[in-house]
Amino acid sequence: MATRPSFTHAFEDWIDWLVHVKKSSPHTVEAYERDMRDFLAFLTGHIGGEPELSDLEDLRAADFRAYLAYRRQEGLTATSLRRVLSSIRSFFKRLEREGYLHNPYLKTLKTPKAGTRLPRPLAAEDTKKLLDGPRGKWEPNWVHHRDLAVLTLLYGCGLRIGEALALNYETRPRSDAMTLIGKGNKERMVPVLPAVRQAIDLYLKECPFTFKGSDPLFIGRRGKRLSPRAIQLKMEMLRRKFGLPETATPHALRHSFASHLLAGGSDLRSIQELLGHASLSSTQRYTDLDTEKLLAVYDKAHPKS
């Protein structure tokens, strides 16, 4: 077995591998890093001290199950637990490939089965309230317009939040359609409503920072790429303001996009293409649609068109 590096070095090497070798999205890297830090914090109490790489090798299946049970008690869904386990497995697999440790017990764990809970889209009138929402008391005007631009993009184009926040200035929507690299590095064409472009243009006009080329389109107050948490907090503020349920999340806007198109007369396969899904069910595969058909479906069915 190779000489083990420090835990900090191994952790940083894993993050670097996710970013530069595996080329995971910023959203995935952030989620994986957060999951592993939570796991390590749990282990600190579980084994009575900060874990070293040798401690990870000594973990048994019961230790991993104890952590998953702990997170389940915190309210994590089966889907979130699947991602947590995926994060831990990614870290361990990287260490094993480098010859730093070998733990056979992690592979014996069964992946938590995802539930069949249906998405809960927002009513059209509630969506309009959110997209026209008020500015927070201590919120700079440009931050308010930035957050509304992101929310408008999620609903108007059906984007995942990670896809929206991964956009750069040079790839921002500037016409009636844009090409997007989505989940699994799959490319799809996304129609863009004038309301979406207007929201983004207003944000850029109000923003005190200057942009060029590959700069992140949506940035935080320090000029760095915006974290999904900022948009989640904005949604929390708005749903309290309007008395909406906790299911009114940024991702609910993507579900609302699909639901409202379906209610407007669009067919499932067209929506499937717009969302970038590999399938809408375990038995249905999506079909190729040309750009003209997608734009026609979108313009006819979307409530804001």
Q: What gap in Å lies between CA 40 and CA 46, rounded to an integer?
A: 9
pTM of the predicted model as reported, rounded to 2 decimal places: 0.55
Catalytic residue among 183, 225, 269, 304: 183
Catalytic residue among 71, 254, 255, 302: 254
Considering the domain architecture, whether residues 89 and 134 belong to the same structural domain is answered as no
- Quick one: three-class SS letters along 224-254? CECCHHHHHHHHHHHHHHHCCCCCCCHHHHH
Catalytic residue among 27, 129, 160, 172: 160
Number of domains in the chain: 2
Q: Catalytic annotation on 286?
A: yes
b/e sequence 3-21, b meaning 16+ C-beta within 10 Å: ebeebeebbeebbebbeee
Considering the domain architecture, whether residues 140 and 246 belong to the same structural domain is answered as yes
In a domain, 200, yes or no: yes
Considering the domain architecture, whether residues 131 and 251 belong to the same structural domain is answered as yes
In a domain, 245, yes or no: yes
H-run or E-run covering 187: strand 187-191
Considering the domain architecture, whether residues 36 and 175 belong to the same structural domain is answered as no
Q: Which residues pair with 188 in a beta bridge?
A: 180
Catalytic residue among 89, 128, 251, 304: 251
Considering the domain architecture, whether residues 216 and 260 belong to the same structural domain is answered as yes
Among 108, 142, 158, the domain boundary falls at 108
In a domain, 114, yes or no: no
Among 78, 108, 138, the domain boundary falls at 108
Among 47, 73, 108, the domain boundary falls at 108
Q: Per the structure block, which two tokens stand in for 173?
A: 């929507």
Give pLDDT < 70 ranges for the chain: 1-2, 114-119, 182, 184, 262-305
CATH number at residue 159: 1.10.443.10
In a domain, 154, yes or no: yes
Q: Catalytic annotation on 285?
A: no
Q: Catalytic annotation on 302?
A: no
Q: Give the model confidence (pLDDT) of 172-223 as tens digits.
A: 988 888 888 767 677 778 888 889 999 999 999 999 999 999 999 999 999 9
Catalytic residue among 83, 144, 277, 304: 277
Q: Which residues pair with 206 in a beta bridge?
A: none
pLDDT at 84: 92
H-run or E-run covering 191: strand 187-191
Considering the domain architecture, whether residues 163 and 204 belong to the same structural domain is answered as yes
In a domain, 172, yes or no: yes
Q: What gap in Å lies between CA 148 and CA 241, rounded to an integer?
A: 15
Chain-centroid distance of CA 128 in Å reads: 22
Q: Catalytic annotation on 254?
A: yes
CATH number at residue 11: 1.10.150.130
Domain range for 101:
7-108
Considering the domain architecture, whether residues 131 and 95 belong to the same structural domain is answered as no
